[in-house]
Structure 1
Amino acid sequence: MAMHFAKRPFTSFISIISRFPSFIPPAFQFHIISSAQLNPQFSLHTKLTHNIPSFTNAHYNHSWVSSDTGLTCHGDAEGADLPGGYTSDEHIHESDEDPEVSNEGSGFNKVLSITKDLHSLPIEEARTALDDCGFIPSPNLVQKLLRRLQYDGKAAFRVFQWAGSQPDYSHTVSVYHTMISILGVHRKFDKGWGLIRKMHERAMVNRQTLMIMIKRYAAAHDARKAIKTFHAMDKFKLAADSDDFLCLLCALCRNMFVEEAEELIHFNKKCYPLETKSFNVILYGWCNIFVDVYQVKRLWEEMSNLCITPDAFSYTTVICCFSKAGKFYDVVRLYDEMKKKGFTPNLKVYNAVIYVLSKERCVKEALNLFNKIREMGFHPNAVTYTYLIYLLCRTWKPEEAYSYLDKMIMEGFVPTIDIYHAFFRFVENEGAICKLFDKMFENGCAPTMETYIMSIRRCCSWSDYENAFKLWNDMEKHWFSADSSIHYLLLNGFLLNGKPEEACKCYREMKVNGFSLEPKIDKMFESWNVGRKHSSLQQQWKISEESLERHRRKYTGTFPRKGGGIPTKTEN
């Protein structure tokens, strides 16, 4: 288990959580500050006081591309999941349609139709418009309505307030949680705390309520407030347990605060003893969010020094990380070590090993492992087939690759565009290009811009400009506009292979689309146009001379002498 790597010393902890009371509504500040004084063990790294970058996607979905193979994979698709089935948006996901929603008498659809106008209406007029919809609120319908309006936080909040004011109706805990989650997505945390205050007055606040705020603060890249919200559980007489602490760590790691989460588990080891589960969360962050091999090896060695025994999740997470980073020997060593420790590898581990085998072009070993997957009772998934097909294409075994593609389709998997791109990269002739396009359309996989660029480039490398020109025209049928790279590719090919008319068409289209042209291309076309005009004048001059000579012979009866000189008149 030992991976000899330099340990990174932890920085000092100087910011106590009780120093940050300003983000809670005034009614809560006293209670939270008092609880902070009772439990000062929560600390925060000083770097959190710096400016935190803003990301458009709150939950970072890491994608990675192997530099030497070009195969694109997605970290969330094959990386190990977070422990405990952690999800961050479980409160606003769409659920199956309810029969009440389709009931015309409920006014559900009428409410949806007027929500776009609620922004411009005063509160009283908006309330009147909602009253006239004939919508009879129930907890189930209100919650579904909020889920439909989750991307319009202002309209959702107005509908929520209006429904809460209706007679014979009161919000349930689930409805409150949905609204708080939506407000958190739109970073309306003050309104969210206002709803929590109302829930507290009605004794409705539970641990899940604060967990929603913790996840939303972390997603908004405010780790300081996420940790302080966790600390505020004492105010509501909610004793945080190890599962709640793990949820806090998961929220931080999912949103790139892995170093801060790692420091928390060490600083709070008296309250929450160090265990495999907490280290697994940190491993998940370094492995799947950052794919940082250095930090993974450091943490793995630290676990060994602290006598923290890795479990199957630990091995799966690290093996997947090393596979993404292309660490062939590390993957093989941990794979063997995992089996020796008595842990059964799952399909993710097998896929990770097949991937590094594909990078090393180990065809025989990859095929043997593919067969072993079935012997172990697992069914290969689309990722397994993708890695294996790419390996066969890369080692110039197209027939075997096609056979596994057929098996993949027979088992009900839809080939992705990455699989077809693997074929396009290693096809040997122009006939295979047409075959691949036909197969793509048969299986319902639409080509992308990259597909056309790849195909046109291969055709140009074979000097097959007829098919390249056909592909160029086919792009317009599928609503793709050719970019400058394709135009340059075709332009050079047409000029070098004596196809001036096609090159001229490509040149004109580049001018119309406003592409910046290299000076040498402009000069090339200027010289070509001058030469074409000169050739045209010569042709016209030759035609005019021949026409004049015919007229002279017809009307004068003369013809030039063989030796030259002045023509003479023919004698009868």
Structure 2
Amino acid sequence: MLNLRRKLAQSLLLLSHHHKFDSNTYHTIIFPTIILNQRVNPPKPSIKHAIKPPNFLTFFSSLTCKSTSDSYQHEDDEYNETLVLPEKDYDNDFETNLRLITDIIKLADQNCVSIRNNLEKCGVTVSPELVSEVLSRVRNNWEVAFTFFLWAGEQIGYAHSLRHYHCMIAILGKSRRFDTAWTLIDEMKKGGKNGGESLVNTQTLLIMIRRYSAVHDVDKAINTFYAYKRFGLETGLHEFHDLLSALCRYKNVKAAEDLLMSNKDCYGLSTKSFNIILNGWCNVIGSPREGKRIWWEMCNRGIHRDVISYSCMISCYSKSNESKEVIKIFDEMRLTDIDLDIKIYNGVIHALAKSGHVEKARDLMKLMEEKGIYPNAITYNSLIMPLCKTRKFSYARKVFDEMLQRGLIPTTRTFHAFFGASRNCEEAYSILRKMNKMGCCPSHDTYIMLIKKFCRWGEFENVWKVWNEMIRNGLDPDRSSYVALVNGLFLNGKLEEAYKYHLEMKVKGLLPEPEIEERLERWRLGMQKVDNSKTGSSES
């Protein structure tokens, strides 16, 4: 049955590329048929009702919610956690096999039928490291990733590990292919290729919860929480906090707060649970008003406010440029018995620098060091970013040099601050060269920033240069990359190029910006009318 299910998924994926096969049929008829067992999808709950697990276990774990925006993770975390390989020297066979697989994917020009046929003939020996590396390179193209995943799983002497299933589920979830992701989870429940005990664990379902939360499908996220017991997994306090964190992380903070309050008799109210909600309002939504409401709710209910709580409020007021409130919270905290940590100091330093009080920020750095807390890269970023934003370049460079003298390694955010202040292509490339020289690898955000700048300056040769460099460096264009490129081309009147990449984006299953999509569609229809009128005139 397991092999039959895999063959069915593979055949249907290939069938989707047939010239008589439309996308509507594909998504409404074919993919739902892959789900042969829907037991993993229980009825939808209402977030207004308490979740009462049958075997409630109370246990505590270390706090996972972070207090500042610096600590908040990128939307691709599921992939970073499961895809990034440990740094080590691979042998020549690995490099050769990787290059061959990469060439097959590129030469096939996203045609999954061709990819599958070429993979069958390539003679590559599949290894766990190879699968991880390939999936990391194609994680923004779910069809290519899924085609490779299915092929790799059928090779003799190889079986997908838990890590690889998580990779693929995360990729499918990001592209909203939830039915296909559940198919893999059902396969994992049967022990994968070799059978045996279930491979499904809490992290498996947490990936799905996060992906549903990302598309604001709160009911499905909670639905997945209910599914834990169907896989023999407990739903205790730790799992409940994971659910709240996932909802808040993707701006479903009101729903998370309602869920917390409706389940207070079951899971209780604690500093950690309130901190998750507080972090959501303060750092995800960025609402000082709502943050303050939760702050006083904690006080009224007698919930202890810890260093995380204070850090959330300081971060929130800092973002909204309310430096007086930052100092007020900071002074209040100093009167308590809570030990100030480096995150608190960094938040206050950033708030002071943003409001123009750079010297006061420097004084606070000295005070921090006197108390035995030494600045880190984020401390210096807290100074460099506001200085670059206010175009105080010489001062920013001075702080940067001091950072290097202390032996601290600049982060991507350090260089992004300087990129943001660059005024021409030469300056931007100079910063990029320095970034590469210092071993700080450019990220998607780096290239997106450069694409936006070059588009604004009308430097399209440089746009294509950084776009191609991004791909060469193993960063497959994600949704944000395409949106930046399409928007930049569209706003500069390069409509044909914009439409080309708009279509490429949709083929990969990435959602375009609705406004730009509507405008490009109107342009396409207008061009069709012009072509039709020309054809009519020539015939007459």
- TM-score of the superposition, structure 1-length normalised? 0.58
Q: 1:245/1:90 Cα in 2 relative to 1: closer, same or farther (>3 Å)?
A: farther
- Whether the 8 Å CA contact 1:107–1:134 is kept in 2: the answer is no
- Whether the 8 Å CA contact 1:417–1:445 is kept in 2: the answer is no
Match for residue 162 of structure 1?
151
Match for residue 50 of structure 2?
41
Q: Distance in 2 between matches of 1:171 and 1:388?
A: 46
Match for residue 38 of structure 2?
28
SS at match of 1:285: helix
Q: Distance in 2 between matches of 1:207 and 1:387?
A: 36
Matches within 5 A, 1:56-95: 79=69, 81=71, 87-95=77-85
Match for residue 236 of structure 1?
231
Amino acid in structure 2 at the alignment position of 1:350: Y
Q: Distance in 1 between matches of 2:432 and 2:111?
A: 49
Cα distance per residue 1:493-541 (max 9 Å; x no partner): xxxxxxxxxxxxxxxxxxxx99xxxxxxxxxxxxxxxxxxxxxxxxxxx
For residue 119 of structure 2, the aligned residue among 123, 130, 148 is 130
Q: 1:400/1:154 Cα in 2 relative to 1: closer, same or farther (>3 Å)?
A: closer
Match for residue 16 of structure 1?
none
Match for residue 246 of structure 1?
241
Q: Distance in 1 between matches of 2:156 and 2:433?
A: 55
Q: Shift of residue 277 of structure 1?
A: 0.9
Is structure 2 residue 366 aligned with structure 1 residue 374?
Answer: no
Match for residue 294 of structure 2?
299
Match for residue 546 of structure 1?
none
For residue 148 of structure 1, the aligned residue among 120, 134, 137 is 137
Q: Distance in 2 between matches of 1:146 and 1:274?
A: 40
Q: Shift of residue 139 of structure 1?
A: 3.3
Is structure 2 residue 210 aligned with structure 1 residue 200?
Answer: no
Q: Distance in 1 between matches of 2:385 and 2:102?
A: 47
Cα distance per residue 1:387-436 (max 9 Å; x no partner): 65788999999998876554345335666574698899xxxxxxxxxxxx
Match for residue 223 of structure 1?
218
Q: Shift of residue 449 of structure 1?
A: 12
Determine which structure has the larger helix proportion and give its number. 2
Match for residue 120 of structure 1?
111
- Whether the 8 Å CA contact 2:368–2:374 is kept in 1: the answer is yes
Matches within 5 A, 1:382-393: 384-385=379-380
Q: 1:423/1:413 Cα in 2 relative to 1: closer, same or farther (>3 Å)?
A: farther
Q: Which stretch shifts more, 24-33 or 352-361?
A: 24-33
Is structure 2 residue 322 aligned with structure 1 residue 327?
Answer: yes
For residue 109 of structure 1, the aligned residue among 99, 107, 110 is 99
Q: Shift of residue 97 of structure 1?
A: 5.5
Q: Shift of residue 26 of structure 1?
A: 6.0
Q: Shift of residue 146 of structure 1?
A: 2.1
SS at match of 2:102: helix
Q: 1:153/1:479 Cα in 2 relative to 1: closer, same or farther (>3 Å)?
A: closer
Aligned residues between the structures: 395
Q: Distance in 1 between matches of 2:305 and 2:79?
A: 29
Match for residue 262 of structure 2?
267
Q: Distance in 2 between matches of 1:82 and 1:448?
A: 23
SS at match of 2:243: helix
Match for residue 209 of structure 1?
204
- Whether the 8 Å CA contact 2:213–2:221 is kept in 1: the answer is yes
Amino acid in structure 2 at the alignment position of 1:315: Y
For residue 280 of structure 1, the aligned residue among 272, 275, 281 is 275
Q: Distance in 2 between matches of 1:27 and 1:200?
A: 11
Q: Shift of residue 372 of structure 1?
A: 0.9
Q: Which runs of 5+ in 2 are unaligned?
A: 1-31, 53-65, 192-197, 437-448, 464-491, 494-540
Q: 1:101/1:183 Cα in 2 relative to 1: closer, same or farther (>3 Å)?
A: farther
Q: Distance in 1 between matches of 2:41 and 2:271?
A: 33
Is structure 2 residue 339 aligned with structure 1 residue 353?
Answer: no
Cα distance per residue 1:176-234 (max 9 Å; x no partner): 22111111122111111111111112322221211111112122332221111111112
Q: Shift of residue 121 of structure 1?
A: 5.8
Cα distance per residue 1:536-564 (max 9 Å; x no partner): xxxxxxxxxxxxxxxxxxxxxxxxxxxxx
Amino acid in structure 1 at the alignment position of 2:42: I
Amino acid in structure 1 at the alignment position of 2:326: V
Cα distance per residue 1:459-495 (max 9 Å; x no partner): xxxxxxxxxxxxx9xx99x969xxxxxxxxxxxxxxx
SS at match of 2:42: helix
> Cα RMSD over matched residues?
4.8
Identity %: 35
- TM-score of the superposition, structure 2-length normalised? 0.61
SS at match of 2:245: helix
Q: Shift of residue 355 of structure 1?
A: 3.5
Task: Look at both structures and tell me which one has the larger radius of gyration over its CA atoms.
Answer: 1
Q: 1:443/1:157 Cα in 2 relative to 1: closer, same or farther (>3 Å)?
A: closer
Q: 1:311/1:133 Cα in 2 relative to 1: closer, same or farther (>3 Å)?
A: same
Q: 1:396/1:192 Cα in 2 relative to 1: closer, same or farther (>3 Å)?
A: closer
Q: Distance in 2 between matches of 1:362 and 1:374?
A: 19
For residue 178 of structure 1, the aligned residue among 167, 175, 182 is 167
Matches within 5 A, 1:461-480: none
- Whether the 8 Å CA contact 1:392–1:401 is kept in 2: the answer is yes
